[in-house]
Structure 1
Amino acid sequence: MTTPRTEHLVLPGVLTAEQAVATVHGILAAQREDGAIPWFRGHHLDPWDHVEAAMALDAAGEHAAAERAYAWLARHQNDDGSWYAAYTDGEAALVQDRARETNFVAYVAVGVWHHYLSTGDDAFLDRSWPTVRAAVEFVIGLQQPGGQIGWKRADDGTPTEDALLTGCSSVHHALRCALAIAEQREEPQPDWELALGTLRHAIRSHPERFLDKSRYSMDWYYPVLGGALTGAEAGARIREGWDRFVVPGLGVRCVVPNAWVTGGESAELALALWATGESDRALEILQSIQHLRDPESGLYWTGYVFDDGAVWPRELTTWTAGSLLLAVAALGGHEATVAVFGGELLPLGLDTDCCA
């Protein structure tokens, strides 16, 4: 294995340089030769978490490994631009879940833009453009008249009109990255700009257009992490849910009232806090989940049931490690990660307001 670059991955109370190397090597050890990054060896791969782990590899300077991950996606993309929700671990990559979830499909745009900003590789962007374009067209094809995007298309082709706030917030982020790619290539996409604007308005102004998943912490912070809420609105939303979801010294609950904190949600909240200028609180959150670190592998347990004092499930997942590395990279000033998750330079699309 190569020696990862750790200058942006060292954070007091979170990662030393040696620990950062171990965590990156833990993800690399799980990656298959064909580029696939399953949750862990023997478990399935889903496209969203695969991309998150690939972005973490880019943040560590492991660009060849990250590029293999994106090549895997290009090879396995369906004719309609989608990917299935889950694939078995193994050379055959058999389909395990045949649903095609819109936020899973859209996220390739975030990863491709992050890789380009990390490497400056124009040839990679050219190769990836057809993949990104087809994925975005699949996703906006499920957009509803109110701007929200149905969360999946079933295996028989039936679209699901129900929309999820977390998923749509992630799609919002992905559409901004897709438009950045289009701008870089000088290929205007006015339909994407309109889709982005109407989606943002739905997220900001119409909670009734989404299924009620308010018990889940992701529905709390994802409108901020996905860039739909910024400034004072973002700060107010974070304050509103803080006491419900944050367990001091342990991390972030996945769902209330369950006594279960999870590493992925905690690291993502830290990213959202950093994006709103709350770097000190972001650091505290990342420090609070170091009890989930496995010193042998450098990876992180998915979660911890604090009423029972038990790690659960007994899974060391690449995406949990990936989310932590990305949060650390943002706080450490890694330029590509800052640009992608800070969002200041990402396109905003067309402003729309159905309420005007």
Structure 2
Amino acid sequence: MLTVDQVAATIDGIAAVQRPDGSIPWFVGGHLDPWDHTEAAMALDVAGRHDEAERAYRWLASRQEPDGSWYAAYVDGEVTDRNKEANFTAYLAVGLWHHHLLTGDEEFLVRMWPKLRAAMGFILELQAPGGEIRWKRDEHGVPVPDALLTGSASMYQALRCALAIAEHLGEPQPDWELAAGRLGHAVLSHPERFLDKSRYSMDWYYPILGTALRGPAANGRIKDAWDTFVVPDLGVRCVSDRPWVTGAESCELAIALWALGESDRAVEIVSWIQRLRHEDGLYWTGYVFEDDAIWPVERTAWTAGAMILATAALGGEPATTAVFGGAPTAFEGDGLPVGLDPAQVRCGSDICVRG
């Protein structure tokens, strides 16, 4: 695990990437996507850098589109990818609830509530009859027909965090409860409703990271593909058929393992990827072990963010364990709401509804 000084250096590295307007690109001069921007803001919050984190959320608030979404990529504040990805938009909920648990800033949460409600409206319009959420609107505003398991699992966590915010503010959202249940059911029970991306490690562990899957089925899922994706002493492959381990995927798997009570294995994986650490506290994105080469040659704020969040979860930091643990906890009363229990969803040939 990281020392206090190492954590501070990593946080300083993320803060150095943040632009004066609050946006956090991948690296200085690089592009920004809203999901990774939010992950980096969460890391700043963990370290008590709440002003910088709030500036990141204010940037999102200032750039939200009328339909509640954000574009997929920006460079220096200018849109460079006009697709609107659903999970990019939804992740605001995770960041906001994490921020509130760490700061208790009621006024800021209330001010961001209309932005969150609009973001949830955008993703719910993309929910298919079977419960899965189509992964984007294209540059012309047309919804694509396909859904991604990783993105939908992430959006399940986001819906649960959005429900936590709604309950905290006394703003019941029964439509969100139903949507969460239908989405959770699709993630857990209907792999055929998602594009086959099984060669990517994220599709392996994201149902766990996104809080949908727990218990023996989750442990079995980890065991089944462990040898496919985990390279001992190096980390986690991004793609099963490439000799490339990546820091962010390794940290995310560590959080998933922690959520299953496998902290020892999680700590081991985090220790392996310290080889990616640079003297400035940031982390190289990945390592091609057949060539003994760093690739790509970039140190991303979101890789550093994933490291900080994994360290926080493994260290028992309450806000981080609340949003990634998912199960009821003593922190803020009851952890993350489930909404409609996915087990209560029943499916016909092409539609899933409350059972």
Q: TM-score range by the shorter chain?
A: over 0.9
Code of the residue aligned with 1:122 in structure 2: it is E
Q: Report what 2:352 is aligned to.
A: none
Q: Distance in 2 between matches of 1:249 and 1:161?
A: 40
Stretches of structure 2 lacking an aligned partner (at least 5 in a row): 328-334, 349-354
Q: Distance in 2 between matches of 1:124 and 1:108?
A: 14
Code of the residue aligned with 1:354 in structure 2: it is C
Q: Report what 1:334 is aligned to.
A: 317
Aligned pair 1:348/2:338, yes or no? yes
Q: Is the 8 A contact 1:149 1:161 kept in 2?
A: no
Q: Is the 8 A contact 1:108 1:174 kept in 2?
A: yes
Aligned pair 1:75/2:68, yes or no? no
Aligned pair 1:312/2:295, yes or no? yes
- CA shift for structure 1 position 155: 1.8
Q: Distance in 2 between matches of 1:212 and 1:107?
A: 23
Aligned pair 1:323/2:313, yes or no? no
Aligned pair 1:29/2:16, yes or no? yes
Q: Is the 8 A contact 1:259 1:305 kept in 2?
A: yes
Q: Distance in 1 between matches of 2:126 and 2:87?
A: 11
Count of residues paired in the alignment: 339
Q: Report what 2:332 is aligned to.
A: none
Cα deviations across residues 135-165 of structure 1 (Å, max 9, x unaligned)? 0000010000000000000121111120000
Aligned pair 1:101/2:85, yes or no? yes
TM-score by length of 2: 0.94
Stretches of structure 1 lacking an aligned partner (at least 5 in a row): 1-10
Q: Distance in 2 between matches of 1:256 and 1:273?
A: 19
Q: Report what 2:173 is aligned to.
A: 189
Q: Report what 1:202 is aligned to.
A: 186
Aligned pair 1:226/2:210, yes or no? yes
Q: Is the 8 A contact 1:149 1:163 kept in 2?
A: yes
Q: Distance in 2 between matches of 1:343 and 1:229?
A: 10
Map residues 155-174 of structure 1 onto 2, 5 A cutoff: 155-174=139-158
CA RMSD of superposed structures (Å): 0.8
Q: Distance in 1 between matches of 2:5 and 2:166?
A: 38
Code of the residue aligned with 1:259 in structure 2: it is P
Q: Distance in 1 between matches of 2:346 and 2:272?
A: 40
Map residues 279-290 of structure 1 onto 2, 5 A cutoff: 279-290=263-274
- CA shift for structure 1 position 353: 2.6
TM-score by length of 1: 0.94
Instruction: Give the share of equivalent positions with the same residue, in percent.
Output: 65
Q: Is the 8 A contact 1:142 1:161 kept in 2?
A: no
Cα deviations across residues 263-319 of structure 1 (Å, max 9, x unaligned)? 000000000000111000100000010100002x11000000000000000000000
Q: Report what 1:216 is aligned to.
A: 200
Q: Report what 1:8 is aligned to.
A: none
SS of 1:150's equivalent in the other structure is coil
Q: Distance in 1 between matches of 2:144 and 2:176?
A: 20
Code of the residue aligned with 1:59 in structure 2: it is V
Code of the residue aligned with 1:347 in structure 2: it is P
Code of the residue aligned with 2:278 in structure 1: it is D
Q: Distance in 1 between matches of 2:43 and 2:90?
A: 18
Cα deviations across residues 227-261 of structure 1 (Å, max 9, x unaligned)? 11111111111111101000000000000110000
